[in-house]
Amino acid sequence: MPLHPVGNDGQMSDFSSSRYGNGMVAAAQPEAVEAGVEALRGGGNAVDAAIACGLVAGVVDPQMCGIAGFGNAQLYLPGHGIHTCVDFHGTSPAATQPDQWEHLLVGETRDGFGFLVEGNVNDVGYQSITTPGSLLAYYEAQTRYGRLPWADVVAPAIEWAETGFPIRPALYNWWQDGAKMGRVDTVERLRHTPAGRRIYFHEDGTLRRVGELLKNPDLAETLRRIAEGGADVFYTGEIADEIAADMVANNGLLCAEDLANYRTVWGAPLHTTYRGREVTTNQPPGGGVMVAQLMGILGNSDLAALGHNSVEYIRIVAEAMKCATADKDAHVGDPEFVDVPLEWLLSNEHTAELAERIQRGERADVARMAGESPDTTHVCVVDSDGNAVTMTHSLGMPSGVITDGLGFMYNGCMGVFEPRPGRTGSLAPGKQRFSSLCPTMVFRDGELDLIVGAPGGTQIAMGVTQVLLNAIDFEMPILDAVIAPRFSATSNAIDVCNRIPRSVTAELMADGYDVIRWPGSYAFGLVHGIAVTPNGLSGAADPGGDGMAMRA
């Protein structure tokens, strides 16, 4: 049966009369979307499709995500009475010392997504790697709640790694994008190890280009071993032994015990309400708390009356973003290490007080020491039974490290830990760092209404929140909600994409705001979503990337 991508109107003439049709997948890579759709057509459910999609994304977008990454997923399986989240953030290795980089500290990135130290040892290389959680979460979710055999779900990723895929423009452009805010540029990450130089460069040292077929037979073989042996082969088996040996040989912090001791965290989503709808998102150390707090603050203003992206609308939403960012910086971290005051952060009293300050014209202060990591991706799936999965998974700032013979790149998440001891996000053994990942669902009258999520570093919560506002306050269809121009405020500046009118930013600047215009038309998260409409499912993939939405 041929695949049918969804057009810009989100509709298809042969769409089933069922509320959910045959299901839908939206993600940032066409190859990954197709894998998810084929899983649905092969009898799988939303979990099978999401994991098949995620595994393929790790092959065809290998610096955005992969089996050595981290993330969070929200699963809604109403027929089984299941609504849960799995958190699989990377944990700092047991060898981590709280003050190991304090003497090397240079500054903090302006967006708040990481710290700069001399030699960039926290950003790239063997010491930048946290214990990966992605593969274990994929395996647990699929074997607990999926319908298909595990090996069948892994098979499409093996095929893409072995036969190769054409390098897409978004992937190549990201490789070439250069250093951002003091971080190591991507080309240097790609060439950091001999394996990376073999995979991503020609023999003469030039980077492979758009349209070239990229094959990774080492990754194909690694995935075959995982298809046969499950997650155990990676965390306690022969792959774990190979990882540990490479880390010892190159002075890495990660060790065999870190892999063997890694555990995912399953639990209830974080719940809030907005304009009569129920919004569910992830718990700390994920970014759902920021989305929930933003909903609480902004629920005190009549945003629709202000006009979409008007001067006052941007001012109010940007100030709410700054308030949520300041609260996150001060209070939100790994709940195993930090007492996160969730009840207070999300209380009506606190959010109303913040809203009153904004309405009085007060300005929040988001201090940075000095100085967007888009190295993440997302998948949304709804199946024919109304099961839904929204999953954001990432390598953070990819470490550049590829163990010879294994083919995958490790995450580089040690760079987001605070090198100064005694703070919410400070280094500690076995600790998870806050991330903005916030896979989110919206329910209306107890029925699934919308699922959404995004990559984009500190901009994820900002992008997701704006899409929610677009869909709820301005009643935009999901495609319009996703493509509408966005802005962000994760520091004392307001960053805007190039489609925000200059007449609007001129007024903000005249009012004393530091406005930074980005050259891109699409920025601040690459949001993907699926909406349940009276006419069935409608999906959207952010046009800033290469993705798509497709019905099964």
Domain count, the chain: 1
374 secondary structure, DSSP code: -
Flag whether 287 is in a domain.
yes
Q: Which residues contact 502 (CB under 8 A, 6 or more apart)?
A: none
- H-helix segments, 61-193: 134-145, 150-163, 169-175, 186-190
pLDDT band at 396 (very low <50, low <70, confident <90, very high): confident
Does 544 reside within a domain?
no
Active site amino acids: 376
Establish if 202 belongs to a structural domain.
no
CA atoms within 13 A on the CB side of 145: 28
| HEC letters along 488-546 | ECCCCEEEECCCCCHHHHHHHHHCCCEEEECCCCCCCCCCEEEEEECCEEEEEECCCCC
Question: Does any domain span residue 489?
Answer: yes
Residue position matching structure tokens 């042969």: 14
Q: What pLDDT is stored for residue 7 in this prediction?
A: 35
pTM here is 0.93
- Element of type H or E holding 344: helix 342-345
Q: Is the pLDDT of residue 41 over 80?
A: yes
In a domain, 346, yes or no: yes
State the DSSP code for 201.
B
pLDDT in tens, 99-112: 999 998 887 765 55
Tracing tokens 């903090």 back to the chain, one arrives at 108
Say which DSSP state 138 is in. Answer: H
In angstroms, the Cα distances linking 224 to 150, 152, 403 are 11, 11, 17
pLDDT of 513: 97
- Residue 10: pLDDT band by 50, 70, 90 thresholds? very low
| Measured CA distances, 511 to 425, 485, 504 (Å) | 34, 21, 11
Which of these ranges, 247-251, 276-280, 303-307, 397-401, has the smallest mean pLDDT? 397-401
Residue 235, H or E segment: helix 232-235
Residue 18 neighbours by CB under 8 Å, 6+ apart: 384, 536
What is the CATH classification number for the domain harbouring 334?
Answer: 1.10.246.130
76 vs 262: CA distance, rounded Å: 25
Compute the C-alpha angle 432/284/391, nearest 5°.
90
Residue 507 within any structural domain of the chain: yes
Where residue 181 falls among pLDDT bands split at 50, 70, 90? low
Q: What is the pLDDT of residues 189-238, one digit of tens each?
A: 999 999 999 999 999 999 999 999 999 999 999 999 999 999 999 999 99
> How much is the pLDDT for 397?
84
Domain that holds residue 505: 271-372+437-538
Decide if 284 is inside a domain.
yes
Local structure of 87: helix, strand or coil: strand
Give me the sign of the Cα torsion angle 530, 533, 537, 543: negative
346 residue type, one letter: L
Share of the chain above pLDDT 90, in %: 84
Burial class (CB in 10 A: 0-12, 13-18, 19+), 190: buried
Give residue 184's pLDDT band: very low, low, confident or very high (50, 70, 90).
confident
Question: Predicted confidence band at 177 (pLDDT cuts at 50, 70, 90)?
Answer: confident
Evaluate whether residue 32 is within a structural domain.
Answer: no
Distance CA(473)–CA(501), nearest Å, equals 21
